[in-house]
């Protein structure tokens, strides 16, 4: 079963410096029918104007992943981490017992466009932590590249949850497949471009909840389509 979450149906928050689209309930946007999916709690598509960003604020007991599509995102936190996240980078911050951090557009002239993803951890009260890795376009082009996993296998970042996160980029007609094991579900998020998921067309910003399917087939339907796939326990 595949249930589409259309980009146009997402929650909207626009503060001038921030234009955000919420796949699931977040902030002032509340929809009891879209509170998350399995252990996936938040997917926000954020666009931040040059030199602006999120001031220092706190989180607890959440795995927070940042995936930059365009521009550069500057991160600072209370455990001493400071970095700039660019396209190809995947960043994971484990809030655990509590962490303070800020996120700003690192450029004074160009906007930054990124996905912020929250995943419920399998254990509360862990020590806060941070990890960032870079995955080249070649690694993702025409294949599902594992970029996040519970055990950090294949050079992926470590996520404190029984979840595997894959990224792929596809050109028109290019195809990748993924087998979904028993008692597993998946969420697919189109970051840019257009794809076909099994027999369903999807475009940028669309998401899809996938359950009771044994094989997921993705086919590129535009130039430079980019997709994230979350494989999770049901």
- The CATH topology of domain 10-135 is Jelly Rolls (2.60.120)
Residues of the chain with CATH 2.60.120.10: 10-135, 138-233
Structure-derived torsion over alpha carbons of residues 105, 64, 59, 15, reported in degrees to the nearest 10: 40
Structure-derived torsion over alpha carbons of residues 146, 27, 23, 10, reported in degrees to the nearest 10: -160
Q: How far apart are CA 35 and CA 128, in angstroms?
A: 25
Quick one: tokens of 115?
Answer: 């996905």
Task: Tell me the pLDDT tens digit for each residue of 111-159.
Answer: 999 999 999 999 999 999 889 999 999 999 999 999 999 999 999 999 9
* Bridging pattern class, strands 175-179 and 82-85: unpaired
Task: Tell me the pLDDT tens digit for each residue of 173-200.
Answer: 999 999 999 999 999 999 999 999 998 9
Structure-derived torsion over alpha carbons of residues 53, 63, 86, 57, reported in degrees to the nearest 10: 20
We find that the CATH architecture of domain 138-233 is Sandwich (2.60)
């Amino acid at each position: 079963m595949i249930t589409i979450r259309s980009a146009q149906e997402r929650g909207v928050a626009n503060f001038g410096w921030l234009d955000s689209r919420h796949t699931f309930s977040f902030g002032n946007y509340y929809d009891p029918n879209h509170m998350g999916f399995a252990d996936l709690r938040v997917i926000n598509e954020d666009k931040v104007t040059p030199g602006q960003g999120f001031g220092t604020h706190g989180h607890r007991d959440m795995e927070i992943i940042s995936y930059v599509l365009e521009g550069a995102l500057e991160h600072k936190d209370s455990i001493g981490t400071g970095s700039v996240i660019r396209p190809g980078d995947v960043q994971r911050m484990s809030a655990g017992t509590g962490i303070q951090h800020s996120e700003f557009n690192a450029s004074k002239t160009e906007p930054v466009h990124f996905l912020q993803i929250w995943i419920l951890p399998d254990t509360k009260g862990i020590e806060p932590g941070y990890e960032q890795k870079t995955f080249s376009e070649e690694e993702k082009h025409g294949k599902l590249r594992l970029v996040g996993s519970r055990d950090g296998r294949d050079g992926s970042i470590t996520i404190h949850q029984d979840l595997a996160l894959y990224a792929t980029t596809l050109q028109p007609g290019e195809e990748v497949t993924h087998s979904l094991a028993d008692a597993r579900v998946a969420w697919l998020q189109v970051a840019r471009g257009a794809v076909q998921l099994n027999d369903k067309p999807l475009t940028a910003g669309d998401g899809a909840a996938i359950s009771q399917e044994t094989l997921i087939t993705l086919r590129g339907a535009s130039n430079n389509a980019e997709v994230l796939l979350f494989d999770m326990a049901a």
